[in-house]
Amino acid sequence: MKRTDYCLAAISAVAAFAVYVLTLAPTVTAEDSGEFIAASYLTGVAHPSGFPLWCLVTKPFFWIPVGDVAYRANLSSAFWASVSVAGVFLLARRWGASWVGAWLAALALAYSQRFWYHSTVTKDYTL
């Protein structure tokens, strides 16, 4: 891989993250988000299967002095989703796609309805 591939992956991730932050849920949403927020904030484990890795990697986001605790947990989902977008770009390049094709694949994932939804609320799917 070339250095430009890593730069384009980073640009894709930053673009996705910016849009996710603009559309981020401001507080607790439906389903399991409250449980995930509480488990991560208290360094606990949510319901089975527990999602311990998600709880551990979300904990540092609570140290960011922005918004309330739920907003920070939602911010972690946006961050991990944007890392996933960069990963899709790099994976597509590794599999032989042109940089335009890899970029389109990454942005197609980033702005698909279901992935976007999970990127703006407290969910473990983006990780």
Residues 68-125: pLDDT tens digits?
999 999 999 999 999 999 999 999 999 999 999 999 999 999 999 999 999 999 888 8
Q: Phi, psi (5° rounding) for residue 12?
A: -60, -45
How far apart CA 63 and CA 42 sit, in angstroms, is 13
Q: Which amino acid belongs to residue 43?
A: T
13 close to 82: Cβ distance less than 8 angstroms:
yes
Of 72, 77, 74, 41, nearest to 59 by C-alpha is 41
Q: Phi, psi (5° rounding) for residue 64?
A: -75, 125
